[in-house]
Amino acid sequence: MKRFDVRTFQNVAEWTAAAANLFVELSERAIQEDGVFAVALSGGSTPKSLYELLATPDYRERIRWSNVKIFWGDERFVPPDHSDSNYRMAREALLSKVPIPSNNIFPVPTTNTTPKDSAMVYERTIRQQTGSFHLILLGLGQDGHTASLFPYSDSLKERERLVVENYVAKLNSHRITLTIPAINQAATVVFLVSGDSKTEVFKQILEGPYDPERLPAQQIHPVSGQLIFMVTM
């Protein structure tokens, strides 16, 4: 792994507060420098406590939501009100509770389209709205995946496109995901790693042999941005 920063916390409360404070700091820097804070949210269950904390007055009121643009690092190809939807989780935990303009929220299209067309449309949206991201939040799967970049999948080979679709057989799920080059263009990439179920895979990612097909998260190293692991086990 190239240069990165590991920040370890004693418990979920401290870990969540540190992640929320980092989100605020990065938003202030991006808005001051670029007038906008373009963020790609992670899905899964890990970031929910962060989103919920950002929605509380102590944090919500420190963010200039009218200058924030929200995207997703990946999405399950299900309707936006489906229980598996990463958009739904973020909407319920955060976006419905903060004064962000609805046209600053860019969900992955998953209705009246196909996974292939969704990926193309989403890439066009990203290129039109931002090009690259100030912050990408990522989770870590126990199998070493991140976003929806799964071990040995074709999505790992993509070097030109920003967004691809792939079918994940073991989950019987079509996924739309940012690609490795799209993630590595970000100014800041933050892995949110929580729970002892992630201890082994986290150790392999950082200390194990470089095995990028088996451990896709090892391919995340921003070209010129910063990589931060925020960890509580």
| 68 versus 149: smaller Cβ distance to ligand 6PG | 149
| 110 versus 146: smaller Cβ distance to ligand 6PG | 146
- Which residue number is nearest to ligand 6PG in terms of Cβ? 139
| 31 versus 141: smaller Cβ distance to ligand 6PG | 141
Task: Please identify which residue in 4, 29, 44, 212 interacts with ligand 6PG, judged by CB under 6 A.
Answer: 44
Stretch that binds ligand 6PG, among 57-65, 113-121, 133-141, 225-233 (CB under 6 A): 133-141
CA distance 102 to 115: 23
- Considering only residues 73 to 92 of the shown chain, the ones binding ligand 6PG according to CB under 6 A are 74, 86
Per the listing, tokens 């969704």 go with 118
Neighbours of 112 (CB within 10 A): 7
| 74 versus 165: smaller Cβ distance to ligand 6PG | 74
Task: Please identify which residue in 42, 67, 130, 185 interacts with ligand 6PG, judged by CB under 6 A.
Answer: 42
* Interacting residue ranges for ligand 6PG, rule: CB under 6 A: 42-46, 74, 86, 139-141, 145-148
